Amino acid sequence: MKNLKYCLSGLALSVAASVSQAAEVEVLHYLTSSGEAAAINVLKEYLGESGHTWKDFAVAGGGGESAMTVLKSRAISGNPPAAAQIKGLDIQEWGDLGFLTDLDGVATAGKWDTLLPPVVSNVMKYDGKYVAVPVNVHRVNWLWANPEPFRKAGLGIPTTWEQFLEVAPKLKEAGVIPLAHGGQAWQDATLFEAVALGVGGPEFYSKAFVDHDEATLKGAEMINVFKTFKKLRDFIDPNASGRDWNIATSMVINGEAAMQIMGDWAKGEFTAAGKKPGVDYVCLAAPDTSGTFTFNIDSFAMFALSDDDASKAQGKLAELVMDPAFQETFNLNKGSIPARMGMNRAPFDSCALASMDAFEASSASGTLVPSMAHGLATTSQVQGAIYDVVTNFFNSDTSAEDAVETLARSVKAAQL
């Protein structure tokens, strides 16, 4: 297994020589699982080798909700970190509040506009200026499968919801948990958005979660989405409530469960466990979503700092994130694909290459959609409203017909 740990490169040594005044850079993030920690450690090492000091401000909790709560209290008290894992439309919200600093000097010097696809660079800018730097592009609409339970039961791994609903009961009868899941709102929403994309398609998905079209939110198609979503309750285990996503991934790794529908940060867990795609696990587009790509971009937004040396160190961090060697090693560990274009594909495995191909194909065909569950499609207010409707529906006997009425009403109210 190639040692994915970042090793000191000539670049890092040369960069160290260019540092005027070493400074501390405090970074808030929520990358605490095995795969995530391996990835963020690459950035820590990079910054250390450039002569500055990384002050770790890790707040565990999948999806980042806890981290964002802590960040808000730090910012409101006038003591924000230098950088924070902020992504999607949250960047605009922090920009509106006047907390972020402008990275255009670093971005222009580094020619970021030529290195990033517009779908990525647009998310990083507030008022036309870069205020954040992207570390990756995650694909969210993935199904991760352990092939062993399927082989033993003589079943194929499902590529459609019809096939999923056929094989899941048979896996359950064979004593295997068909679908590993963590009963947390963000995970319910991640599963829900995969069903919405598969059942309704990319156009329906965007009309619902980007445009907030009322007729789409409460129409027959959305009722069908909720009905399919509720059927999945029969295929998760009774101990799913509150389970962290990476524990669910470990259930697929050890064969206790057959599948997980989760973004490719899950692949970082397989990698950290020394597992190989195509041998120990299989990656497939979530049912009925082949050819589409739900994107989720992790990024670090930079806060305005009064100290000049700290600001310079902050700029150095942003510069390092866009370095190709960092983009390669971080993403090999994280399970995502580089945000930077034109990267060498050779070090990446079959799942990453499939993601790269799907990103390019879906960008060209208009089937690339922003993740609602991970903050790329809509505001945190609307996302929160959808989270509540979806997780309450999944954990109650609410009808699909009632759920769509509540969904349309809640999304409308969240935009007031």
Q: Which residues bind ligand GAL (CB under 6 A)?
A: 30-31, 36, 62-64, 138, 245, 265, 296, 298, 374
Q: What is the dihedral of CA 301, 305, 307, 311, to 10 degrees?
A: 20
Q: What are the DSSP E strand ranges found in 262-343? A: 282-285, 293-296, 299-302
CB of 243 to ligand GAL, least distance (A): 13
Smallest gap, in angstroms, from Cβ of residue 250 to ligand GAL?
Answer: 14
Give Cα separations from 314 to 67, 317, 320 (angstroms): 20, 5, 10
> Do residues 372 and 285 touch, judged by C-beta distance below 8 A?
no
Q: Which is nearer to ligand GAL, 9 or 121 (CB)?
A: 121
The candidate with the shortest Cα–Cα distance to 49, out of 109, 5, 100, 92, is: 5
List the one residue out of 143, 262, 288, 87 whose CA is nearest residue 204.
288
**Which is closer to ligand GAL, CB of 84 or CB of 176?**
84
**Nearest CA to 313 among 42, 47, 99?**
47
d(CA 289, CA 191): 13
Q: Which two tokens stand for residue 209?
A: 């979660």
Question: Rounded to the nearest whole angstrom, what is the least distance from the CB of residue 31 to ligand GAL in the complex?
Answer: 6
Give the whole-angstrom CA distance, residue 74 versus residue 124.
22
Q: Which is nearer to ligand GAL, 63 or 80 (CB)?
A: 63
How far apart, in whole angstroms, are the C-alpha atoms of residue 345 and residue 283? 18
Q: Which is nearer to ligand GAL, 179 or 297 (CB)?
A: 297
- Vertex 270 angle, CA 266 and 276, to 5°: 130
Nearer to ligand GAL, 161 or 348 (CB): 348
Burial of 75: CB neighbours in 10 Å, binned 0-12, 13-18, 19+: middle
Cβ closest to ligand GAL, residue 180 vs residue 404: 180
83-85 and 24-29 as β-strands: parallel, antiparallel, unpaired? Answer: parallel
Kindly tell me which of 62 and 158 has the beta carbon lying closer to ligand GAL: 62
Strands 138-139 and 293-296: antiparallel
Nearer to ligand GAL, 63 or 198 (CB): 63
146 or 187: CB nearest ligand GAL: 187
Q: Give the residue at shortest CB distance from ligand GAL.
A: 62
The CB-of-397 to ligand GAL minimum distance in angstroms stands at 29
First CA to last CA across the chain, in angstroms?
Answer: 52
